[in-house]
Structure 1
Amino acid sequence: MELDHPAAPPASAVVDPAIAAATPVLSVAGLTTSFLREGHWHPVVRNVGFDVGLKETVAIVGESGSGKSVTALSIMRLVPAQNGRIQGSIRLNGLELLTLPDKAMRKVRGNDIAMIFQEPMTSLNPVLTIGFQIAEALIYHRDMSRSAAEAEAIRLLEKVRIPAAAARFHEYPHKLSGGMRQRVMIAMALACRPKLLIADEPTTALDVTIQAQILELLKLLQEEEGMSVLFITHDMGVVAEIADRTVVMYGGEAVEAGDTARIFASPAHAYTRALLSAVPRLGSMAGRPRPMRFPIVDKLTGTSDVPVETPDTVAAAERPVLEVANLTTRFDIQSGLFGSVCGRVHAVENVSFSLHAGETLALVGESGCGKSTTGRSILKLIRPNSGSVLVDGEDVLAMDSITLRAMRRRMQIIFQDPFASLNPRMSVRTAIAEPFYAHGLATKAEARDKVADLLVRVGLTPEMADRYPHEFSGGQRQRICIARALALEPKLIVADEAVSALDVSVKAQVVNLMLDLQASMGLAYLFISHDIAVVERMSHRVAVMYLGEIVEIGPRAAVFGNPQHPYTRKLMAAVPIPDPARRGDKRGVSNDEIRSPVRPPDYVPPARQYREASPGHVVQVWGEEWEKREGS
C-alpha cells in the first residue's frame, strides 16, 4: 500500500511550499523486500511507499520486527544479494537506485546518501583512529589529499561539537563516550555533504541527556547543510521532537502516514493508538501518590484498558528490607611494569538509602554515574571498599560465601540484556528451574510444576518451557528473566535497566507486570534506569546519582514536582516531550560530557552536606566547587 504525500506541507515543517511541491529528494514506491528461507521467498517489507522532501525530516516508526531497518537497508541496497531481493522503485532526485550498477551504487552510498547506525561501537573500526576513519571517506569520495582530508576531518569533528577536536583526532573509538562516538558517526556521515541522511535508531542506546544533545545537533546540522533526513525509531517522544511527517509500520506494512502533529492529535490506525498510549509522559503522574500501570491498547481493535493506581503495599512501619550506609566502591587503575596504582575510579562514593517491602526506589542518572555498580555492590557481585548493606537486618558484606549463597535466595537481579543473561544452550525450563536445583529446594517433578506456574505468572504459557531463548522476542525473554528472578520468592529485586532495551509497547507491558507482581508479592524493587519518564510512572521514591554520589533523594512527587539540584533539573529538561506542538520549546540542553570519575590515588573526597527540602526530600548542598566543576 503506497501512502500518498499530503497535498499541503505540515504546519511544523520549515519547507517552503514551492519547494515542497517540487520533486522529492527520495521517493519510495511499492517497496517489497524478501528473504530466501528454505527455498521460498518470504517478504518482510510489503508494498511500502513514501516521499522525503527537500530539508524535510520523515520518521519511520514501529516496534522491532516491523520492517523499519530493512526499509532503510533496502534504500541503501545493503540487503545481501545471495538471500535477499528488493522490488519496487527507489528514486533519489529522480535517479532509480534499484537498477544502478554496483559500482555506481557504491558512489551513491556515503556521497549522496549517508547512514548513521544504532550502535556506533560496532560501526567504527576499533583498530583505527576516529580521524583516520573520517579522512578515509573524504579521500575515497571527494578525491582529497591525505593532509586536506585530515584538516577537513578536524573541521567536521568541531562541527559536531566534539571538544578539543584536533587532540581527539588520533584517539581510538573505545576512548570516547557513547555520545561522543555517535557524534563521530554523524561527522563521518556528513563528510561528503549528502542530500539524504538515514538515521537508524541513532539515539536508542543513549542516555536521556546525550539523546537530547544528538537530536539538537541533528536539527542544527540539517538546517546548516540543507539535508533531508529519514529518521528510524520506535520512540514516539523522539518522533514528536524531530519529524515533520511520520510513517507508521506494522508487520512489514505502512499502516498510517501523514503530518506528525495530526498523527499525534488523532491517530487513525489502532496500532498507532497503541504506540502512543504506551509513551511515558513526564508530568503525567502529578497529583498521584502511587505508581500507575500503563494503559494497554489492543493493536488490532484499538480498545484500551483503564489504567489504575497500584495498591499501597509499602510496609513503612516495618524495618526496611534493604539498608545501605556509606557504601563506597572504587576500582584501581594500574600501570607500569609492576602494576603500580596510578589512579582510581570512584564509582560509588558514600551512598546511603533504605528500601521497604512493597516499595520501588528508582536510581537514575547518566551512564558512568555509578547506578549499576551500586546495584552489584549491594548484591556483592562486586566487592565494595567500605560501608554496610543490610538485608532483613543481616550484613551482606560481612558474610562468607556459604552464608551469602543462602542470603541470595532473598535478593535477585534482572539485567538489562535478557539475551546475554540467558544461556542460549539451555531451555527456558532449565534456566528457570536452575535456582531450585542450586539451593536443593525441589525435585525434578516439583521444579517442572513451579516453572509452569512462574511462566503463567509472567504472562507466558507452560508450553513455552521447552523452547530456547532465540525463539522468543525481546519482551518475552525479559519476562523469562523476571520469572527466573521470582523462582526463589525473593524480597528484594535489583532491576538494572530492565526495560531500557525494549520497544515502547513491550516496555509498558513489562512495567505493568512488575507493578502487578509487586502488589501481589510485596516485592521491594531497586529500579536502576536512565529513562526518567518510566521512573516517574513506577517509582515511590527517586534517588539521583552523579559521579558516584546521590545528589538528591526523596518521594517521587517531591523530586519530580520540585527538583532542587541543578543536575536533577538538567536530567528532566533533557526528556523528549511527546507533543509536536512543543517542539520549539527551548530546553537548555547542555553539550558537556559527564565528568570522569577517575581520581589520583591520594584523592580524598570532600565531606558533603545535605539539606532537607521537604519531609523525606534531601538534597546535596552544591556551591562554588560544583559549579566550577560543571562550568555553570
Structure 2
Amino acid sequence: MAPVLAIENLTTSFKTAEGWRAVIRDISLSVNAGETVAIVGESGSGKSVTALSALRLLPSGKARCEGRILLEGKDLLKASEAEMRSVRGGSIGMIFQEPMTSLNPVFTIGNQIAEALVIHQHLSWSAAEAEAVRLMERVRIPAAKARLNEYPHKFSGGMRQRVMIAMALACRPKLLIADEPTTALDVTIQAEILYLIRELQREENMGVLFITHDMGVVAEVADRTVVMFRGDMIESGPTGQIFAAPKEVYTKSLLASIPRLGTMGEAKAPRRFPEVDAKTGEAVDGREMEDVAQTSAPILKVANLAVRFDAPNGRVHAVEDVSFDLKPGETLSLVGESGCGKSTTGRAVLRLVNASAGSVVIDGQDVASAGTKELRAIRRHAQMIFQDPFASLNPRITIGSAIAEPMLSHGLAGKREARERVAALLEQVGLSGAVADRYPHEFSGGQRQRISIARALALEPKLIVADEAVSALDVSVKAQVSNLLLDLQEKHGLSYLFISHDMAVVERMSHRVAVMYLGEIVEIGPRAAIFDNPQHPYTRRLISAVPIPDPSRRAMARPLLSEEIKSPLRPFDYVPPKRTYQEVSPGHFVQDTASAWDERLTA
C-alpha cells in the first residue's frame, strides 16, 4: 500500500542575486496512513521549508522545487493550481507556526473556520457555522459560540493557535502537516491537543507530519523521527531508536540540550543549561547561578493589580487582585494556561494596557501616574520581549534598524556606534552581525525571536518582561539564549518577569514561581517549593502534564480533559470575592482552594 505522502529526492532552492541557492537538499521521507513522522532540527534547518514545499506554498518564481512529492501516488509538483486549491485544506490540513500571520485580521474567527467547510465539504453557511462552534469547543476555546464572531486580535496567542488547529482538522484531511502546533500552548492544553490529534488520526487513519523543536513532544507522539541540519537530512529512524542510540553528533547534542523537569535538586538559584561539546555531542550540566540578596529593595512592586475589559455582554476580568514583588537580579516566572492573564499582567506592568485597579511601581516610580516623559524614562530601564516576534517587528525596516532604533531614540549612541552595538547584540543571541541589513520576513520564527531579544537588550535595562521569550526556539538555541539571559542577569543584576508555559525551562530559570488561573495567582513561592511540593490542584495538574522526553515512557492514558476552560467573562455588576491565602512554608503561599478553585470549576 502506497504511503499517504512520499517525498523523493526533494531539493528546494531560492532565487538570490547570485543565482539559485539550495536551502534543502535531496530530502526523502514518507508518511503512512495512521502514522506520525516528526521532523526535528534547529531553527533554519529547513523543517518548515520542507512542509511548505509539500503544499507548494513557496513564492512562484522565487522558489524552485526539484524531485517528487507524492500524495497517495499523485505528484503534487505536476498538479495545476486549481488542483492544489482542493488539496490545501481538503486532502492536506496545515497548522502554521505563527497563527497571527496566517489568520485574516479582517474576518471573524467563525467566518474563517466555516469558509473551509463550505468550500471543501459543500456545507451550507449555517451548517458550517454550527460545525465551527463544535470544532472550537473540541480544541477547548471557552465560550465558543459567543466568540464565533470575534476577530483574531481579540484572542491570545495560545487561543489563536487553537483556532488554527480547529481549521486544519475541519475537513478531516488524509494528511495533517503540523508546523510547531503546540508552541504557543501551555502544557495542559498541549497534552489535550496532542491527544485530540491522535484520536482524530485513529478515527480517520490520518497521516501526520509533525514539525517541532520540542523533543518531549516528539517522544510523546512520533512513530518515526527525521533529524535535519542546515538543509540536509542527517538521520532518521524509529523514534525509540533515535532517542536511545543516536548515531550523529548533532542528534546527540540535540538530545543533550533538552531541559528536563526535576533536574535541579536542592539548588536555590537558577542553573545554567547543559553545555554541549560540539565535537562529541556530550553534555556537562551548567553551574548554579548566584542567589538573590534577600535584603535588597524590590525593583518592581505590583499590588492588587486588576485589568478588566468591557465586552458587549459583560466584562472580562483578565487580571484580578494580583500582587507580587521582584528584587534586583531575581527571576519570577508566571505560568498558567493560555488566556489566564500572564501576558496581560506583563503588559500592565509596562502600561501597555491600562490597569483597572491596583498599583505598579518600577524602581520607585509609579507607572500609573507617570506622564509621557516619566513613562519614557521608566521604559528606558524596563523592556519587554513579546510573544509573537513577527507582529512586534516592523516588516518595512531592517532588523539592524529595529535594534538600533531605541538606542538612537534615547540618545545613547551615534549611528556608527549603534551599528557596532547591533552587530555585537546579534552575535550575543546566536546570529551573525552580517544579517543586520535583512528584513523580518527573511528569518525563521526562532531567528525572529532572537532578534526581539537583542532589541530588548539594546538599552541595557534593569527589568525585562519576557513574554514566552524562548518558546519559539529549538532546544539547542533555547539553551543558548536561556544561558545568555542568565549570564546577563548575573553580570548586570537584571530582573526578569519571565512568562512561560515551558515548565522545564521555568524550573531552570526561576528563583520564584507564580501560578495563574483565570486571572488570579493561585500559588506563589520559591522554585523548589512549587516544583517539589505543589499544593494547589491546578499546579499539580500543570506539572503532571509536562511531556517526558523518553519514548519508552510514552503516556498512553487519556489526559485529564475538562469540559471547557471557564470564561473570565462576568456580568457588569459582578464583584470579585476577596481570596484568602495560606503560607504553607516560608514564602510559599497557596490560595484557599475551598473558596476559589471549586467555585470556578463549577461556575
The normalised TM-score by structure 2 is: 0.86
User: Of 556, 574, 589, which residue of structure 1 is paired with 2:560?
Assistant: 589
TM-aligned CA deviation for residue 33 of structure 1: 2.1
Name the residue aligned to 2:330: 359
| Structure 2 residue 350 is the aligned partner of structure 1 residue 371 | no
| Structure 2 residue 254 is the aligned partner of structure 1 residue 272 | no
Contact conserved, 2:26 with 2:232, CA < 8 A, in 1?
A: yes
Name the residue aligned to 2:541: 570
User: Of 530, 538, 550, which residue of structure 2 is paired with 1:579?
Assistant: 550
TM-aligned CA deviation for residue 111 of structure 1: 4.6
- Distance (whole Å) between structure 2 residues aligned to residue 80 and residue 443 of structure 1: 38
Structure 2 unaligned residues grouped into runs of 5+: none
User: Of 466, 490, 497, which residue of structure 2 is paired with 1:526?
Assistant: 497
Name the residue aligned to 1:13: none
Size of the aligned set, in residue pairs, is 602
| Structure 2 residue 128 is the aligned partner of structure 1 residue 157 | no
CA spacing shift, 1:435–1:54, aligned 2, 3 Å: closer
Deviation sequence 1:329-380 (CA, Å, 0-9, x none)? 33344x6xxxxxx643323222211222221111112232222232233333
TM-aligned CA deviation for residue 591 of structure 1: 4.3
Name the residue aligned to 2:301: 323
- Distance (whole Å) between structure 2 residues aligned to residue 479 and residue 607 of structure 1: 41
Larger CA deviation: 591-600 vs 558-567: 591-600
- Distance (whole Å) between structure 1 residues aligned to residue 262 and residue 79 of structure 2: 51
**2:302 alignment partner AA:** V
Larger CA deviation: 214-223 vs 74-83: 74-83
- Distance (whole Å) between structure 1 residues aligned to residue 63 and residue 416 of structure 2: 46
Matches within 5 A, 1:419-458: 420-422=391-393, 438-439=409-410
CA spacing shift, 1:482–1:203, aligned 2, 3 Å: closer
| Structure 2 residue 177 is the aligned partner of structure 1 residue 198 | yes
Contact conserved, 2:95 with 2:164, CA < 8 A, in 1?
A: yes
Deviation sequence 1:123-180 (CA, Å, 0-9, x none)? 45566666666666556556x5638964994797399466899957964564777666
- Distance (whole Å) between structure 1 residues aligned to residue 419 and residue 88 of structure 2: 54
Contact conserved, 1:271 with 1:298, CA < 8 A, in 2?
A: no
CA spacing shift, 1:36–1:537, aligned 2, 3 Å: same
| Structure 2 residue 268 is the aligned partner of structure 1 residue 289 | yes
Larger CA deviation: 276-285 vs 188-197: 188-197
Name the residue aligned to 1:493: 464
**2:285 alignment partner AA:** P
**2:543 alignment partner AA:** M
Deviation sequence 1:548-593 (CA, Å, 0-9, x none)? 2111000101101111112212222332222111213537332444
The DSSP-based 3-state class of the residue aligned with 2:284 is coil
Larger CA deviation: 429-438 vs 408-417: 429-438
| Structure 2 residue 54 is the aligned partner of structure 1 residue 83 | no
Matches within 5 A, 1:330-479: 330-333=308-311, 343-418=314-389, 420-422=391-393, 438-439=409-410, 478=449
Name the residue aligned to 1:247: 226
Larger CA deviation: 593-602 vs 474-483: 474-483
Larger CA deviation: 587-596 vs 319-328: 587-596
TM-aligned CA deviation for residue 207 of structure 1: 3.0
CA spacing shift, 1:256–1:483, aligned 2, 3 Å: closer
Name the residue aligned to 1:536: 507
User: Of 568, 571, 580, which residue of structure 2 is paired with 1:609?
Assistant: 580
Contact conserved, 1:199 with 1:231, CA < 8 A, in 2?
A: yes
Name the residue aligned to 1:310: 288
Larger CA deviation: 537-546 vs 444-453: 444-453
Larger CA deviation: 170-179 vs 605-614: 170-179
TM-aligned CA deviation for residue 216 of structure 1: 0.6
User: Of 190, 198, 212, which residue of structure 2 is paired with 1:219?
Assistant: 198
Deviation sequence 1:492-535 (CA, Å, 0-9, x none)? 22222222232332221111001011112222211122222211
The normalised TM-score by structure 1 is: 0.83
CA spacing shift, 1:24–1:463, aligned 2, 3 Å: closer
CA spacing shift, 1:298–1:344, aligned 2, 3 Å: same
**2:193 alignment partner AA:** I
The DSSP-based 3-state class of the residue aligned with 1:346 is strand
**2:507 alignment partner AA:** E
The DSSP-based 3-state class of the residue aligned with 2:276 is coil
Whose radius of gyration is greater, 1 or 2? 1
Deviation sequence 1:406-458 (CA, Å, 0-9, x none)? 44444333333455545566667765565555555666777677767766766
**1:554 alignment partner AA:** G
- Distance (whole Å) between structure 1 residues aligned to residue 143 and residue 381 of structure 2: 50
Deviation sequence 1:277-323 (CA, Å, 0-9, x none)? 22222222233322111124356x34456332333241112222222
CA spacing shift, 1:190–1:383, aligned 2, 3 Å: closer
- Distance (whole Å) between structure 1 residues aligned to residue 565 and residue 361 of structure 2: 31
- Distance (whole Å) between structure 2 residues aligned to residue 147 and residue 529 of structure 1: 38
Matches within 5 A, 1:46-57: 46-57=25-36
CA spacing shift, 1:466–1:127, aligned 2, 3 Å: closer
The DSSP-based 3-state class of the residue aligned with 2:329 is coil
Deviation sequence 1:170-215 (CA, Å, 0-9, x none)? 6456477766665665555455554332223222233333222210
| Structure 2 residue 6 is the aligned partner of structure 1 residue 33 | no
Larger CA deviation: 412-421 vs 533-542: 412-421
Name the residue aligned to 1:259: 238
Root mean square deviation of aligned Cα: 3.8
The DSSP-based 3-state class of the residue aligned with 1:267 is coil
CA spacing shift, 1:291–1:92, aligned 2, 3 Å: same
- Distance (whole Å) between structure 2 residues aligned to residue 64 and residue 206 of structure 1: 19
Structure 1 unaligned residues grouped into runs of 5+: 1-21, 336-341
Contact conserved, 2:7 with 2:28, CA < 8 A, in 1?
A: yes
| Structure 2 residue 84 is the aligned partner of structure 1 residue 113 | no
